[in-house]
Protein backbone atom coordinates (compact mmCIF):
# COMPACT_ATOMS: atom_id res chain seq x y z
CA UNK A 1 0.00 0.00 0.00
CA UNK A 2 1.57 3.29 -1.14
CA UNK A 3 2.46 5.97 1.45
CA UNK A 4 0.46 9.32 1.39
CA UNK A 5 1.95 12.63 2.65
CA UNK A 6 0.21 14.06 5.70
CA UNK A 7 -2.44 16.87 5.13
CA UNK A 8 -1.51 20.32 6.46
CA UNK A 9 -3.01 21.34 9.68
CA UNK A 10 -6.38 23.25 9.54
CA UNK A 11 -5.10 26.45 11.25
CA UNK A 12 -2.29 26.82 8.72
CA UNK A 13 -4.82 26.51 5.84
CA UNK A 14 -7.02 29.26 7.28
CA UNK A 15 -4.05 31.58 7.67
CA UNK A 16 -3.10 30.99 4.02
CA UNK A 17 -6.61 31.80 2.77
CA UNK A 18 -6.80 34.99 4.85
CA UNK A 19 -3.48 36.19 3.42
CA UNK A 20 -4.67 35.65 -0.14
CA UNK A 21 -7.88 37.59 0.54
CA UNK A 22 -5.90 40.49 2.04
CA UNK A 23 -3.64 40.67 -0.99
CA UNK A 24 -6.68 40.73 -3.31
CA UNK A 25 -8.31 43.52 -1.31
CA UNK A 26 -5.16 45.66 -1.44
CA UNK A 27 -4.95 45.32 -5.25
CA UNK A 28 -8.70 46.38 -5.73
CA UNK A 29 -9.37 50.20 -5.59
CA UNK A 30 -11.49 51.32 -2.66
CA UNK A 31 -14.99 52.83 -3.35
CA UNK A 32 -15.40 56.50 -2.47
CA UNK A 33 -17.60 57.44 0.49
CA UNK A 34 -21.18 58.54 -0.34
CA UNK A 35 -20.57 62.03 1.05
CA UNK A 36 -17.46 62.57 -1.06
CA UNK A 37 -19.11 61.21 -4.26
CA UNK A 38 -22.27 63.46 -4.18
CA UNK A 39 -21.78 66.62 -6.34
CA UNK A 40 -22.85 70.12 -5.20
CA UNK A 41 -26.39 70.94 -6.40
CA UNK A 42 -26.54 73.48 -9.20
CA UNK A 43 -28.96 76.37 -8.61
CA UNK A 44 -29.91 79.37 -10.72
CA UNK A 45 -29.78 82.85 -9.20
CA UNK A 46 -30.43 86.49 -10.13
CA UNK A 47 -28.43 89.40 -8.80
CA UNK A 48 -30.55 92.27 -7.49
CA UNK A 49 -29.73 95.68 -8.92
CA UNK A 50 -31.21 99.12 -8.39
CA UNK A 51 -33.36 100.28 -11.30
CA UNK A 52 -35.63 103.22 -12.09
CA UNK A 53 -39.25 102.16 -11.86
CA UNK A 54 -42.39 104.17 -12.62
CA UNK A 55 -45.02 103.18 -10.08
CA UNK A 56 -48.68 103.24 -11.04
CA UNK A 57 -51.91 102.22 -9.38
CA UNK A 58 -55.09 100.96 -11.05
CA UNK A 59 -58.29 102.28 -9.51
CA UNK A 60 -61.99 101.99 -10.43
CA UNK A 61 -63.80 105.13 -11.50
CA UNK A 62 -66.76 106.73 -13.27
CA UNK A 63 -66.87 109.40 -15.93
CA UNK A 64 -68.81 112.64 -15.48
CA UNK A 65 -69.47 115.63 -17.74
CA UNK A 66 -67.21 118.68 -17.57
CA UNK A 67 -70.24 121.01 -17.50
CA UNK A 68 -73.93 120.17 -16.98
CA UNK A 69 -76.84 122.56 -17.46
CA UNK A 70 -80.52 121.72 -17.03
CA UNK A 71 -82.69 123.92 -19.24
CA UNK A 72 -85.77 125.26 -17.42
CA UNK A 73 -88.28 127.97 -18.38
CA UNK A 74 -88.11 131.26 -16.50
CA UNK A 75 -91.61 132.34 -17.59
CA UNK A 76 -94.81 130.39 -17.97
CA UNK A 77 -96.73 129.81 -21.15
CA UNK A 78 -97.43 127.49 -24.06
CA UNK A 79 -94.44 126.07 -25.97
CA UNK A 80 -94.91 127.09 -29.59
CA UNK A 81 -91.99 125.16 -31.09
CA UNK A 82 -88.81 123.25 -30.39
CA UNK A 83 -85.84 124.42 -32.43
CA UNK A 84 -83.17 121.73 -31.90
CA UNK A 85 -82.59 118.08 -32.75
CA UNK A 86 -82.13 115.78 -29.78
CA UNK A 87 -78.64 114.35 -29.28
CA UNK A 88 -76.84 117.05 -31.30
CA UNK A 89 -74.33 119.73 -30.39
CA UNK A 90 -75.67 123.16 -29.47
CA UNK A 91 -73.88 126.45 -28.91
CA UNK A 92 -74.25 128.77 -25.93
CA UNK A 93 -76.99 131.31 -26.68
CA UNK A 94 -78.63 129.16 -29.36
CA UNK A 95 -82.44 129.26 -29.22
CA UNK A 96 -83.97 125.95 -28.10
CA UNK A 97 -87.69 126.66 -27.44
CA UNK A 98 -90.14 129.43 -28.24
CA UNK A 99 -92.81 130.15 -25.61
CA UNK A 100 -95.89 132.12 -26.72
CA UNK A 101 -94.77 135.78 -26.29
CA UNK A 102 -98.13 137.53 -26.83
CA UNK A 103 -98.93 138.39 -23.20
CA UNK A 104 -95.33 139.38 -22.48
CA UNK A 105 -95.23 141.61 -25.55
CA UNK A 106 -98.36 143.36 -24.31
CA UNK A 107 -96.83 143.86 -20.86
CA UNK A 108 -93.74 145.34 -22.47
CA UNK A 109 -95.75 147.76 -24.57
CA UNK A 110 -97.74 148.87 -21.50
CA UNK A 111 -94.57 149.48 -19.49
CA UNK A 112 -93.13 151.45 -22.37
CA UNK A 113 -96.21 153.72 -22.45
CA UNK A 114 -96.06 154.25 -18.67
CA UNK A 115 -92.47 155.42 -19.01
CA UNK A 116 -93.42 157.92 -21.75
CA UNK A 117 -96.24 159.28 -19.55
CA UNK A 118 -93.91 159.72 -16.57
CA UNK A 119 -91.31 161.45 -18.70
CA UNK A 120 -93.94 163.87 -20.11
CA UNK A 121 -95.15 164.76 -16.59
CA UNK A 122 -91.67 165.53 -15.36
CA UNK A 123 -91.15 168.19 -18.06
CA UNK A 124 -94.18 170.16 -16.86
CA UNK A 125 -93.03 170.04 -13.26
CA UNK A 126 -89.54 171.23 -14.18
CA UNK A 127 -90.98 174.39 -15.83
CA UNK A 128 -93.22 175.04 -12.80
CA UNK A 129 -90.27 174.87 -10.40
CA UNK A 130 -88.30 177.33 -12.56
CA UNK A 131 -91.18 179.89 -12.56
CA UNK A 132 -91.73 179.57 -8.82
CA UNK A 133 -88.03 180.12 -8.19
CA UNK A 134 -88.27 183.62 -9.71
CA UNK A 135 -91.64 184.46 -8.15
CA UNK A 136 -90.72 183.46 -4.62
CA UNK A 137 -87.99 186.11 -4.68
CA UNK A 138 -90.51 188.92 -5.21
CA UNK A 139 -93.01 187.34 -2.86
CA UNK A 140 -95.42 186.62 -5.73
CA UNK A 141 -95.82 183.02 -4.50
CA UNK A 142 -95.35 181.63 -1.07
CA UNK A 143 -92.35 179.63 0.00
CA UNK A 144 -94.68 176.72 0.68
CA UNK A 145 -95.90 176.62 -2.91
CA UNK A 146 -92.31 176.62 -4.14
CA UNK A 147 -91.37 173.76 -1.81
CA UNK A 148 -94.39 171.75 -2.93
CA UNK A 149 -93.41 172.19 -6.59
CA UNK A 150 -89.88 170.93 -5.91
CA UNK A 151 -91.25 167.91 -4.03
CA UNK A 152 -93.57 167.11 -6.94
CA UNK A 153 -90.60 167.23 -9.32
CA UNK A 154 -88.62 164.80 -7.16
CA UNK A 155 -91.61 162.48 -7.02
CA UNK A 156 -91.93 162.61 -10.81
CA UNK A 157 -88.24 161.73 -11.13
CA UNK A 158 -88.82 158.66 -8.96
CA UNK A 159 -91.83 157.67 -11.06
CA UNK A 160 -89.70 157.85 -14.19
CA UNK A 161 -87.10 155.54 -12.64
CA UNK A 162 -89.82 153.10 -11.55
CA UNK A 163 -91.27 153.13 -15.07
CA UNK A 164 -87.83 152.38 -16.49
CA UNK A 165 -87.43 149.42 -14.12
CA UNK A 166 -90.87 148.09 -15.04
CA UNK A 167 -90.02 148.39 -18.72
CA UNK A 168 -86.74 146.48 -18.17
CA UNK A 169 -88.60 143.74 -16.29
CA UNK A 170 -91.11 143.43 -19.11
CA UNK A 171 -88.26 143.26 -21.64
CA UNK A 172 -86.51 140.50 -19.66
CA UNK A 173 -89.70 138.44 -19.43
CA UNK A 174 -90.26 138.89 -23.14
CA UNK A 175 -86.71 137.73 -23.84
CA UNK A 176 -87.25 134.67 -21.62
CA UNK A 177 -89.93 133.44 -23.98
CA UNK A 178 -86.95 132.58 -26.19
CA UNK A 179 -85.36 129.70 -24.21
CA UNK A 180 -81.66 129.58 -25.14
CA UNK A 181 -78.75 127.21 -24.37
CA UNK A 182 -76.79 128.38 -21.29
CA UNK A 183 -73.64 126.40 -22.31
CA UNK A 184 -72.22 124.69 -25.37
CA UNK A 185 -72.42 120.90 -25.45
CA UNK A 186 -74.50 117.91 -26.43
CA UNK A 187 -78.20 118.20 -25.68
CA UNK A 188 -80.24 115.19 -24.63
CA UNK A 189 -83.88 114.31 -25.17
CA UNK A 190 -86.60 116.92 -24.82
CA UNK A 191 -89.09 116.51 -21.97
CA UNK A 192 -91.80 118.60 -23.74
CA UNK A 193 -93.20 119.06 -27.23
CA UNK A 194 -94.91 121.95 -28.96
CA UNK A 195 -98.22 122.74 -27.25
CA UNK A 196 -97.06 121.84 -23.75
CA UNK A 197 -97.74 124.23 -20.88
CA UNK A 198 -94.67 125.16 -18.86
CA UNK A 199 -94.29 127.27 -15.72
CA UNK A 200 -91.53 129.45 -14.41
CA UNK A 201 -88.81 127.59 -12.45
CA UNK A 202 -90.58 124.23 -12.74
CA UNK A 203 -88.83 121.19 -11.23
CA UNK A 204 -88.79 119.22 -14.49
CA UNK A 205 -86.07 120.31 -16.89
CA UNK A 206 -87.01 120.85 -20.52
CA UNK A 207 -83.69 119.28 -21.60
CA UNK A 208 -80.15 118.72 -20.32
CA UNK A 209 -76.93 119.91 -21.97
CA UNK A 210 -73.60 118.25 -21.13
CA UNK A 211 -70.15 119.37 -22.18
CA UNK A 212 -68.11 116.22 -22.87
CA UNK A 213 -64.76 117.60 -24.06
CA UNK A 214 -62.88 117.56 -21.77
CA UNK A 215 -64.46 115.01 -19.44
CA UNK A 216 -63.91 114.19 -15.77
CA UNK A 217 -63.08 110.78 -14.30
CA UNK A 218 -63.72 110.37 -10.56
CA UNK A 219 -61.87 107.51 -8.83
CA UNK A 220 -61.68 106.41 -5.21
CA UNK A 221 -58.59 105.42 -3.29
CA UNK A 222 -57.90 104.30 0.27
CA UNK A 223 -56.88 107.20 2.46
CA UNK A 224 -54.08 105.03 3.91
CA UNK A 225 -52.55 104.49 0.47
CA UNK A 226 -52.93 108.20 -0.32
CA UNK A 227 -51.03 109.14 2.84
CA UNK A 228 -48.30 106.60 2.01
CA UNK A 229 -47.92 108.16 -1.45
CA UNK A 230 -47.69 111.67 -0.03
CA UNK A 231 -45.04 110.52 2.47
CA UNK A 232 -42.99 108.84 -0.28
CA UNK A 233 -43.09 112.00 -2.40
CA UNK A 234 -42.20 114.23 0.56
CA UNK A 235 -39.24 112.04 1.55
CA UNK A 236 -37.85 111.99 -1.99
CA UNK A 237 -38.13 108.23 -2.40
CA UNK A 238 -40.55 108.87 -5.24
CA UNK A 239 -40.05 111.63 -7.77
CA UNK A 240 -42.75 113.01 -10.03
CA UNK A 241 -41.65 113.51 -13.62
CA UNK A 242 -42.30 116.58 -15.76
CA UNK A 243 -44.30 119.42 -14.24
CA UNK A 244 -45.17 117.43 -11.08
CA UNK A 245 -48.66 116.71 -12.46
CA UNK A 246 -49.65 113.09 -11.94
CA UNK A 247 -50.59 111.63 -15.32
CA UNK A 248 -53.51 109.22 -15.63
CA UNK A 249 -54.34 106.58 -18.24
CA UNK A 250 -57.65 104.81 -18.76
CA UNK A 251 -58.78 101.29 -19.50
CA UNK A 252 -62.30 101.05 -20.89
CA UNK A 253 -65.06 98.60 -19.99
CA UNK A 254 -64.22 96.35 -22.95
CA UNK A 255 -60.55 96.10 -21.94
CA UNK A 256 -59.19 98.57 -24.49
CA UNK A 257 -56.79 101.34 -23.52
CA UNK A 258 -58.11 104.87 -24.04
CA UNK A 259 -55.77 106.66 -26.47
CA UNK A 260 -55.67 110.01 -24.61
CA UNK A 261 -53.69 110.66 -21.43
CA UNK A 262 -55.23 112.75 -18.65
CA UNK A 263 -53.97 114.53 -15.57
CA UNK A 264 -54.97 114.49 -11.93
CA UNK A 265 -56.70 117.74 -10.97
CA UNK A 266 -57.33 117.45 -7.23
CA UNK A 267 -58.33 115.17 -4.38
CA UNK A 268 -61.43 115.58 -2.27
CA UNK A 269 -60.95 117.44 1.00
CA UNK A 270 -62.90 114.90 3.06
CA UNK A 271 -62.72 111.14 3.53
CA UNK A 272 -65.82 108.98 3.20
CA UNK A 273 -66.47 107.77 6.75
CA UNK A 274 -68.23 104.58 5.63
CA UNK A 275 -65.51 103.35 3.25
CA UNK A 276 -62.38 105.21 4.37
CA UNK A 277 -61.80 106.27 0.76
CA UNK A 278 -60.92 109.60 -0.80
CA UNK A 279 -62.19 110.75 -4.21
CA UNK A 280 -59.68 111.84 -6.86
CA UNK A 281 -60.70 113.73 -10.00
CA UNK A 282 -58.83 113.52 -13.30
CA UNK A 283 -59.45 115.36 -16.55
CA UNK A 284 -59.21 113.75 -20.01
CA UNK A 285 -59.45 115.14 -23.54
CA UNK A 286 -62.47 113.66 -25.29
CA UNK A 287 -62.44 115.05 -28.85
CA UNK A 288 -64.25 112.07 -30.39
CA UNK A 289 -66.64 111.85 -27.41
CA UNK A 290 -65.80 108.19 -26.95
CA UNK A 291 -66.26 108.65 -23.21
CA UNK A 292 -69.83 109.30 -22.08
CA UNK A 293 -70.99 110.31 -18.58
CA UNK A 294 -71.56 107.40 -16.23
CA UNK A 295 -69.12 104.96 -17.87
CA UNK A 296 -67.20 102.54 -15.64
CA UNK A 297 -63.46 102.73 -16.28
CA UNK A 298 -60.15 101.67 -14.70
CA UNK A 299 -57.76 104.55 -14.13
CA UNK A 300 -53.99 103.98 -14.01
CA UNK A 301 -52.27 106.70 -11.99
CA UNK A 302 -48.55 107.26 -12.51
CA UNK A 303 -47.60 108.03 -8.92
CA UNK A 304 -43.90 108.72 -9.48
CA UNK A 305 -40.50 107.25 -10.28
CA UNK A 306 -38.57 105.14 -7.75
CA UNK A 307 -34.98 105.67 -8.89
CA UNK A 308 -33.55 102.92 -6.65
CA UNK A 309 -36.14 100.15 -6.82
CA UNK A 310 -35.23 96.54 -6.01
CA UNK A 311 -37.35 93.88 -7.70
CA UNK A 312 -37.27 90.18 -6.85
CA UNK A 313 -38.90 87.49 -9.07
CA UNK A 314 -42.14 86.16 -7.65
CA UNK A 315 -41.03 82.57 -8.31
CA UNK A 316 -38.24 83.07 -5.75
CA UNK A 317 -40.58 84.12 -2.93
CA UNK A 318 -42.23 81.63 -0.59
CA UNK A 319 -44.26 81.99 2.59
CA UNK A 320 -43.47 80.84 6.10
CA UNK A 321 -46.14 79.37 8.42
CA UNK A 322 -47.01 82.88 9.65
CA UNK A 323 -47.49 84.18 6.13
CA UNK A 324 -44.26 86.15 5.97
CA UNK A 325 -42.34 86.35 2.68
CA UNK A 326 -38.97 84.56 2.50
CA UNK A 327 -36.29 83.96 -0.14
CA UNK A 328 -33.14 81.85 -0.39
CA UNK A 329 -29.91 83.76 -1.06
CA UNK A 330 -26.37 82.57 -1.80
CA UNK A 331 -23.73 84.08 0.48
CA UNK A 332 -20.05 84.71 -0.27
CA UNK A 333 -19.19 81.08 0.63
CA UNK A 334 -21.74 79.74 -1.87
CA UNK A 335 -23.93 78.54 0.97
CA UNK A 336 -27.69 78.92 1.20
CA UNK A 337 -29.27 81.40 3.63
CA UNK A 338 -32.98 81.95 4.32
CA UNK A 339 -33.97 85.64 4.46
CA UNK A 340 -37.22 87.29 5.51
CA UNK A 341 -38.32 90.17 3.29
CA UNK A 342 -41.12 92.73 3.06
CA UNK A 343 -42.79 93.37 -0.28
CA UNK A 344 -44.77 96.44 -1.29
CA UNK A 345 -46.59 95.53 -4.50
CA UNK A 346 -46.49 93.28 -7.55
CA UNK A 347 -44.84 94.69 -10.67
CA UNK A 348 -45.48 92.25 -13.51
CA UNK A 349 -43.95 88.91 -12.47
CA UNK A 350 -41.81 90.50 -9.74
CA UNK A 351 -42.26 91.93 -6.26
CA UNK A 352 -41.13 95.43 -5.32
CA UNK A 353 -39.06 95.09 -2.15
CA UNK A 354 -39.58 97.32 0.84
CA UNK A 355 -36.88 95.77 3.06
CA UNK A 356 -34.86 92.60 3.71
CA UNK A 357 -32.32 92.61 0.84
CA UNK A 358 -29.72 94.95 -0.59
CA UNK A 359 -28.43 95.49 -4.09
CA UNK A 360 -25.98 92.76 -5.14
CA UNK A 361 -27.79 89.96 -3.30
CA UNK A 362 -27.88 86.63 -5.18
CA UNK A 363 -31.44 85.31 -4.95
CA UNK A 364 -32.15 81.69 -5.86
CA UNK A 365 -34.86 81.34 -8.50
CA UNK A 366 -34.18 77.86 -9.92
CA UNK A 367 -33.52 74.57 -8.07
CA UNK A 368 -35.38 75.58 -4.91
CA UNK A 369 -36.60 72.03 -4.34
CA UNK A 370 -33.07 70.68 -3.75
CA UNK A 371 -31.63 73.23 -1.31
CA UNK A 372 -31.81 73.99 2.38
CA UNK A 373 -30.18 76.57 4.65
CA UNK A 374 -26.45 75.93 5.13
CA UNK A 375 -26.06 73.74 2.03
CA UNK A 376 -23.11 74.56 -0.23
CA UNK A 377 -24.21 74.88 -3.86
CA UNK A 378 -22.88 75.59 -7.32
CA UNK A 379 -24.40 78.97 -8.37
CA UNK A 380 -25.27 79.59 -12.01
CA UNK A 381 -26.64 82.87 -13.38
CA UNK A 382 -30.30 82.30 -14.28
CA UNK A 383 -31.30 82.98 -17.89
CA UNK A 384 -35.08 82.73 -18.31
CA UNK A 385 -36.33 81.13 -21.49
CA UNK A 386 -38.67 83.25 -23.58
CA UNK A 387 -42.01 81.55 -24.36
CA UNK A 388 -42.65 80.43 -27.91
CA UNK A 389 -44.71 82.71 -30.13
CA UNK A 390 -48.46 82.19 -29.85
CA UNK A 391 -51.43 83.18 -31.93
CA UNK A 392 -52.11 86.07 -29.54
CA UNK A 393 -48.55 87.37 -30.05
CA UNK A 394 -49.19 87.54 -33.78
CA UNK A 395 -52.47 89.42 -33.45
CA UNK A 396 -52.76 92.73 -35.33
CA UNK A 397 -51.68 95.85 -33.46
CA UNK A 398 -55.24 97.12 -33.42
CA UNK A 399 -56.30 94.21 -31.18
CA UNK A 400 -53.46 94.64 -28.72
CA UNK A 401 -55.62 96.39 -26.19
CA UNK A 402 -58.27 93.66 -26.32
CA UNK A 403 -55.64 90.93 -25.91
CA UNK A 404 -54.57 92.39 -22.64
- As a three-state string, the secondary structure of the chain is CCCCCCCCCHHHHHHHHHHHHHHHHHHCCCCCCHHHHCCCCEEEEEECCCEEEEEEEEEEEEEEEEEEEEECCCCCEEEEEECCCCCCEECCCCEEEEECCHHHHHHHHHHHHHHHHHHHHHHHHHHHHHHHHHHHHCCCCCHHHHHHHHHHHHHHHHHHHHHHHHHHHHHHHHHCCEEECCCCEEECCCCCCCCCEECCCCCCCCEEEEEEEEEEEEEEEEHHHHHHHHHHHHHCCCECCCCCCCEEEEECCCCCECCCCEEEEEECCCCCCCCCEEEEEEEECCCCCCCCCCCEEEEEEEEEEEEEECEEEHHHCEECCCCCEEEEEECCCCEEEEEEEEEEEEECCEEEEEECCCCCCEEEEECHHHCCCCCECEEEECCCCCCCCCCCCCCCHHHHHHHC
Mean pLDDT, the chain, rounded, equals: 81
Q: Where residue 131 falls among pLDDT bands split at 50, 70, 90?
A: confident
CA distance 317 to 35: 30
Instruction: Evaluate if residue 389 carries a pLDDT over 70.
Output: no
Does the domain at residues 73-204 carry the CATH identifier 2.40.50.100?
A: yes
The pLDDT tens digits of the residues spanning 330-384 come to: 998 999 999 999 888 888 888 888 888 888 899 999 988 888 898 988 888 887 6
Q: Where residue 18 falls among pLDDT bands split at 50, 70, 90?
A: low
Give the pLDDT of residue 305: 78
Q: Say if CB 250 and CB 284 are below 8 A apart.
A: yes
Q: Where residue 91 falls among pLDDT bands split at 50, 70, 90?
A: very high
Task: Report the CATH architecture of 44-51+309-381.
Answer: Beta Barrel (2.40)
Give the pLDDT of residue 391: 39
Range 42-53 average pLDDT: 89
Range 85-111 average pLDDT: 94
User: Which of 246 and 144 is assigned the larger pLDDT?
Assistant: 144
The pLDDT tens digits of the residues spanning 309-326 come to: 889 999 999 988 888 899
Give the pLDDT of residue 243: 55
* Beta strand 42-47 pairing with 378-381: parallel
Give the pLDDT of residue 320: 87
Handedness of CA 71, 73, 74, 79 (dihedral sign): positive
The domains of the chain are located at 44-51+309-381, 55-65+214-305, 73-204
The pLDDT tens digits of the residues spanning 58-73 come to: 888 999 999 999 999 9
The pLDDT tens digits of the residues spanning 202-244 come to: 889 999 999 999 999 998 888 777 777 777 667 666 666 555 5
Instruction: Evaluate if residue 187 carries a pLDDT over 90.
Output: yes
User: Which of 292 and 139 is assigned the larger pLDDT?
Assistant: 292
Give the pLDDT of residue 286: 92
Range 271-300 average pLDDT: 88
Give the pLDDT of residue 300: 87
CATH number assigned to the domain covering 55-65+214-305: 2.40.30.170
Amino acid sequence: MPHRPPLPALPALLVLLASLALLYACDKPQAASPAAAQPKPEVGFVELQHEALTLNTELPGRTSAHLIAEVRPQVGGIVQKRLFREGTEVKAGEMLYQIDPASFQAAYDSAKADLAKAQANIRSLQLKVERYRDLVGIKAVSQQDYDDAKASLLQADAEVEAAKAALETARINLDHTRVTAPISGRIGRSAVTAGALVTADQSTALATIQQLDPIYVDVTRSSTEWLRLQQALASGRLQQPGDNAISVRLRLEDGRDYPQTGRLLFSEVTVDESSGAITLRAEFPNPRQLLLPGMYVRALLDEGVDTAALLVPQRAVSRDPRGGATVYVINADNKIELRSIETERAVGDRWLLRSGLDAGAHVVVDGLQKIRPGLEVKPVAFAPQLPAATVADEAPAGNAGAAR
